[in-house]
Amino acid sequence: MMSANERAFEAAVRTHSRELFRYAYWLCRDRGRAEDLVQDAFARAWSSWADLRDAGARRSWLYTIVRNEFLRGLEKKQLDYDDRDVSDIDVAVESRPDIAIDLRRALEALPESLREPLLLQVLGGFSGGEIAGMLSTTEGAVMTRLTRARQAVRRLLERGLMGQEMAQ
Amino acid sequence: MNCLEFRRELLANPGATGAEAQEHALGCAACADFRARTLALDAEIAELLDVPVPEGLEERVLEAHRTGRRDSRRRFLAMAASVAGVTVVGSGVFVAMRDDPAALAGIDFVIEEEANAILTAKAPQPQDLVRVSLALGLELPPQLGDIRYIGTCPFRGSIAHHLIVTTPQGKATLLLLPELPAQRRGTATSRGLRALVKPAGRGSATVVAESTQGLERIEGMVWRSRTRGGARLTASARTGSDHGQGSEPRRRRPPRFRG
Ligand SMILES: [Zn+2]
């Protein structure tokens, strides 16, 4: 007989493994390691499963565990973050559709501090407040990073952002 | 709400802008357009992030949970890697003979550093590019394609004049290396890209393209033997039209740098 906890755990594995794999993959960009991160995260989650009272918080809790497992591998407690002001100039720049480098490379080129909130928002569908909780920062800082992340992606994708024209 | 505030809010969370923002977009065509493109880009990002998940992942997680051991996939992977390791070492000798290390460095640059080079680039100096290509005796004819990016960046311990061009055969990167001589022509294939390094003047240039065909097309245009004098890339306006390099300098237009 499975206990209620066992059943809830199994349901969580079936519901969240795939999205956690994707998140782990974009943290480490290695499929084998991403799977290990998911397995280790669930092992860790199980060890304190009974303590988690709020089932509604389970999903963001699992994301946080994956992230902690990833950081443990790096022997880092926190990613290097930089919350300088968003540059107004970039926001005002018009986007152009032509692509100088592909989107994958643009995302890979983002600093972790910008890529991670973007992952959590686009992939995880978390709100600014939830992301702030997961990254131990303020919602304002998260929003700033999200803005900067998209600016950086756009800059990478936009041709001719470099301004001047070649001689006519 | 002004345009700047609107764009800030939009970039922070394109999927959930507030009432004020909605109102702004109704009255501002430029911002409405900006929003459409931002949403389109987000959709592309979402699609890219949605990587395939390995078959049987959930079962392996549950199996590990039941047995208290991490699943065998890891051991299997380790084993596969060691077998692959032998193959890699074996073919490495062959690869080393065939692939030119300087050309390989061009491919590594494109994969690992090019995006950062663009991100951190300062304002471009097209006139520098004109000067450098002249000095190297290289041409950058308009048929080459659209130049999407011009910048300078460090490469193999010297300064590279870095161009990204879109050609009929796809995207290509050119690194003009005035201070880096090459002994001979060398090529490499790696990570889905094809690269060429070749002497040019007192330096060299590296081309990285998506196919051999694309590479050879660029090589044929850039290293084209000239009548005499330097390259004719140039706009006579920038380099001065005083010395007739080639007979009809004004007939040739520089590559398009659409802006
Ligand atoms: Zn506006």
**pLDDT, tens only, B133-143:** 888 999 888 88
Q: A128 at the B interface (CB within 8 A)?
A: yes
Q: Do the interacting molecules here have an ipTM over 0.95?
A: no
Q: A85 at the B interface (CB within 8 A)?
A: no
End-to-end C-alpha distance for chain B, whole angstroms: 29
Q: Grade residue A54 by pLDDT with cuts at 50, 70 and 90.
A: confident
- Choose which CATH entry (3.90.180.10, 3.40.640.10, 1.10.10.10, 1.10.240.10) describes domain A91-168: 1.10.10.10
Distance CA A115, CA A92 (A): 21
Q: Using an 8 Å Cβ cutoff, are B150 and B233 in contact?
A: no
Give the highest mean pLDDT range of A31-40, A86-95, B185-194. A31-40
Cα A13–Cα A17–Cα A23 angle in degrees, nearest 5: 145
Q: Grade residue B244 by pLDDT with cuts at 50, 70 and 90.
A: very low
Tell me, yes or no, if the pTM score tops 0.90. Answer: no
Beta-carbon separation of A17 and B53 below 8 A: yes
Query: CA nearest A46 in B: which residue?
Result: B65
**CATH architecture assignment, domain A1-86:** Orthogonal Bundle (1.10)
Distance CA A122, CA B64 (A): 30
Examine the pLDDT at A104 and tell me if it is beyond 70.
yes
All CATH 1.10.1740.10 domain ranges in chain A, comma separated: 1-86
Contacting A residues, span 11-50, partner chain B, CB-CB under 8 Å: 13-14, 17-18, 21-22, 25-26, 31-32, 35-36, 38-40, 42-43, 46
Distance CA B106, CA B192 (A): 13
pLDDT digits (tens, 9 = 90+) for B5-52: 999 999 999 988 889 999 999 999 999 999 998 999 999 899 889 988
Alpha-carbon gap: B84 to the closest alpha carbon of chain A (Å): 15
Residue A93 pLDDT: 41
Q: A2 at the B interface (CB within 8 A)?
A: no
Structure tokens at A3: 């206990």
Of the listed ranges A45-49, A78-82, B228-232, the one predicted with least confidence = B228-232
Residue type, A74: L
Structure tokens at A119: 């992952």
Picking from B79, B118, B150 by the largest number of A CB atoms within 10 A of its own CB, the best residue to mutate is B118
All CATH 1.10.10.10 domain ranges in chain A, comma separated: 91-168
Beta-carbon separation of B64 and A156 below 8 A: no
Beta-carbon separation of A91 and B7 below 8 A: yes
pLDDT digits (tens, 9 = 90+) for A124-151: 999 999 999 999 899 999 999 999 999 8
